[in-house]
Each structure stands twice: as C-alpha cells, then as structure tokens.
Amino acid sequence: MQQPSVQKDAERPATLTPEPAIFCIKTFMPHPGHEQDLEVRLKEHWDGLHAAGLTVPNQEPYFLRSRAGQVLEVFQWKDAESMEEAHRHGELQATWKKILEIATMVPLASLGESSEPYAHFHVLTPGVLQTTGTMAKIVAVKPHTGKLNDLIAQLKKHDVALRKAGYTTERPAMHMRAEKEGHVVEIAEWVSLEKVKEAQTSEDVQGLWNEFNVSVDHNCPLTCLPEAKDRYSLFPAITLHTMSE
C-alpha cells in the first residue's frame, strides 16, 4: 500500500486563531514507591478540573514519563479565570494536597530531556505501569521577525501531513506560545520512536522541514525557555484550522 505523500498533504492553507486557553505543563518527581499512585491522583485531579468546567472541552490531557521517572502533566485551562477558580475549589485543593504528599514538583527545565534539541517522553495511561508505546516530542522554535504566522501555518501543515502518512497518531499536535522570548512550542505524539527515526530519513519529510525552516530563526532545547524554569510552565494556546480539518 503506497504511503500518502507528506508534501501533498502539506499544501493546504492554515489560518491562525488566538485563543483564551492556556496550556499548563507540570512536572513531578514521585516519592519512592508512589509512582503509580501519582499517576492515578493526577488523573483524578484533571477529571475534577474537567467536571468543574475549568479545562478546554474535548481536549484530553497528556501524561508523560521521562527517562529518570518524572511524570509530566499537560492540559489546557479554559482561560486565566479558570486557574483562579481552581484555587477556590475545596475538593480540587484537597486532591492537590494529596498529590503533593507523594510527589515533589520540579521545573520542566530540570529534566535531562529538556537539554536536548528535541525532547521525547513516553506517553502514559495513568495507573498502568506500562507505557503506551507512543512518544511525545516537545520542540521549541523561534520564528524570524515578522514570520510568526508563517511559522505556525507551516507547523500545522507539517502536523496534518505526518498524521496522514502514519508517522504520528491521529491526535492533532498542540501548539502554544512561549511569550517571554517569542518561541513557539509544539507537542506531537509519534506512533513510536522507530517512526521518529524513519521520518528523519524520509525525503518527503526532509523537504517539508526545509520549507518550514525558512521561517525559523532557530530551534532550541526547552531549557532556553524562561517559562520552563518556573515551578510549572504556562503557555497561551494557539489553534489553527486547515481545509482538511
């Protein structure tokens, strides 16, 4: 069966839509013996946030694991007011207190993966010790001056093409803005680490990356983001729409 052309599927226009939603990335080091408990409690906490209407509808969170065993939680607050509301919600605060009894929060920048050009993490199913087999890749790029919209459009086209070609899962990539120094952050779920390596040798994918790089001043490890050094990282969400979606 012939693989879809990555380049052909990338030729659809995309438009930028500003959003009030805010991405939140929290990183935890579980206390010894509490690895599975932490994952379960994080899922319970997110379920509570979602039930209270404080997260973006129809947007599942990511739970990721680093090589050293830290657990990352990635989700979208509906807006800034929702973050404040969560601090006034008794049940949510009680669950949050239980989380901090079995884990320590650490900055995203403290992870070994954050020092690498492309950070890869295992995707988790909370409460299940085995990983799903898929990998989440987090990358930060800085657009050339005046090229922000072009860069984001290229990222979205790249995402659509990779999904259609079977390199990444059907879940659309997440795009967010690191405003302190003007970077764009993308989180995409790859089918496997082998697919990541396969994409690196694909002429179609390389051609698309070369086109995308025209708008890029540089890409950098997550340690270059000031937000990644905070106790938890907050990034305004970016949503794009293409003709194919």
Q: How far apart are the C-alpha atoms of 103 and 95, rounded to whole Å? A: 13
Average pLDDT value for residue range 189-207: 89
User: pLDDT for 87-128, tens place per residue?
Assistant: 999 999 999 999 999 999 999 999 999 999 899 999 998 766
Neighbours of 146 (CB within 10 A): 8
- Predicted TM-score of the model (pTM): 0.86
Average pLDDT value for residue range 59-83: 94
89 burial via Cβ count (<10 Å: 0-12, 13-18, 19+)? middle
Q: How far apart are the C-alpha atoms of 227 and 27, rounded to whole Å? A: 13
Give the total residue count for the chain.
245
The residue ranking higher by pLDDT, 38 or 240, is 38
Name the token pair of 164: 């259609």
User: pLDDT for 164-182, tens place per residue?
Assistant: 999 999 999 999 999 898 9
Looking at residue 211, its pLDDT comes to 79
Average pLDDT value for residue range 190-211: 88
Neighbours of 154 (CB within 10 A): 23
Average pLDDT value for residue range 224-236: 95
- Domains by residue range for the chain, with CATH: 7-18+116-121+129-234 (3.30.70.100), 22-111 (3.30.70.100)
